[in-house]
């Protein structure tokens, strides 16, 4: 399968681990070895280890039987899984094995969900949020203030603000932030549609809820500097400061600077 040692970490000498290549050194084999050495009742620590191995054996009963000559389809599935964010070699191997060999019902459910969502979910034509129609649920909501737009980097940011219940306007999702280091310019982001909305006179207020770093700052400056001439738009940026329940002592210097710059009258 061509795995590299640095991808999977050092191989443990006791042979424990998902996908141990040598079937004789897999978890099952190790349990058997332990049983042959210790015929009596195991102590507390040994019981815990045995229980973990037993659970592991139930979840991955085939784990000691993995060989280099897995099928090409399995290899392709694993490679496809590895392209997903946050999934490394080990995770992709586990997920692929789990779906293909262990839980066939979950595989069918996953395939159906992927098929359905790939056909129905797309970007809202107005704000870039996830939508199953032309407009997302927020843009379709007549009770929202459509002239006040909160600009966020990604959909999870929108969800977080929605969860707070503190914003009754609409959103605009950029799907990233300007980053010359990663070759992300304005053309790669959902900025032109925002500027078009402003040019059409549909926006009175813009709240920039972008991250408090150099790239977020650059993105804010770009948006502000490209507001079409002749349009009066109130542009604000969300405050950054001490988190709720946090103290000044434990805040880093960037947070403290932001908190002091964003101070407001106490009333």
Paired strand residues for 236: 207
Nearest approach, Cβ of 169 to Zn ion (angstroms)? 12
Task: Extract the tokens encoding 162.
Answer: 């929605």
Candidates 131-139, 188-196, 232-240, 250-258; binding stretch for Zn ion (CB under 5 A): 131-139
Can residue 178 be called a binding residue for Zn ion (CB under 5 A)?
Answer: no
CA–CA gap between residue 139 and residue 129 (Å, rounded): 9
Task: Extract the tokens encoding 107.
Answer: 């595989």
DSSP string, 189-204: TTTHHHHHHHHTT--S
Instruction: Give, in order, the Cα–Cα distances in Å from 243 to each of 155, 220, 226, 240.
Output: 22, 22, 32, 9
Task: Extract the tokens encoding 76.
Answer: 């392709």
Binding mask 136-175 for Zn ion (x = CB under 5 A): x--x------------------------------------
Please identify, using beta-carbon distances, which residue of 99 and 208 lies nearer to Zn ion.
208
Are 74 and 93 a contacting pair, CB within 8 Å? no
Nearest approach, Cβ of 147 to Zn ion (angstroms)? 14
Please identify, using beta-carbon distances, which residue of 94 and 126 lies nearer to Zn ion.
126
Candidates 48-56, 90-98, 128-136, 197-205; binding stretch for Zn ion (CB under 5 A): 128-136
Interactions with Zn ion, residue window 108-127 (CB under 5 A)? 124, 126-127
Phi, psi (degrees; rounded to nearest 5) at 41: -70, 140
Nearest approach, Cβ of 146 to Zn ion (angstroms)? 10
Contact set with Zn ion (CB under 5 A): 124, 126-127, 129, 136, 139
């Amino acid at each position: 399968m061509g795995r590299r040692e640095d991808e999977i970490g050092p191989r443990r000498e006791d042979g424990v681990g998902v996908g141990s290549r040598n079937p004789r050194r897999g978890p099952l084999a190790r349990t058997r070895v332990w049983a042959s050495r210790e015929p009596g009742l195991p102590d507390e620590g040994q019981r815990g280890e045995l229980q973990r191995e037993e659970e592991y054996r139930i979840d991955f009963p085939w784990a000691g039987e993995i060989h280099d000559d897995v099928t090409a389809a399995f290899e392709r599935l694993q490679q496809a899984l590895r392209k997903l964010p946050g999934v490394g070699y080990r995770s992709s191997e586990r997920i692929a094995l789990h779906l293909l060999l262990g839980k066939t019902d979950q595989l069918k459910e996953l395939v159906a969900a992927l098929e359905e969502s790939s056909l129905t979910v797309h970007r809202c034509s107005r704000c870039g949020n996830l939508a199953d129609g032309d407009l997302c649920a927020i843009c379709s909501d007549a009770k929202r203030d459509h002239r006040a737009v909160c600009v966020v980097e990604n959909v999870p940011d929108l969800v977080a603000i929605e969860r707070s219940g503190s914003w009754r306007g609409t959103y605009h999702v950029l799907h990233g932030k300007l980053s010359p280091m990663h070759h992300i310019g304005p053309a790669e982001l959902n900025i032109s549609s925002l500027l078009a909305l402003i040019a059409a006179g549909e926006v009175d207020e813009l709240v920039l809820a972008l991250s408090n770093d150099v790239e977020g700052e650059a993105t804010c400056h770009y948006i502000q500097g490209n507001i079409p001439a002749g349009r009066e738009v109130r542009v604000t940026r969300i405050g950054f400061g001490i988190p709720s329940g946090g103290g000044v002592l434990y805040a880093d210097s960037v947070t403290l600077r932001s908190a002091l710059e964003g101070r407001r009258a106490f009333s």
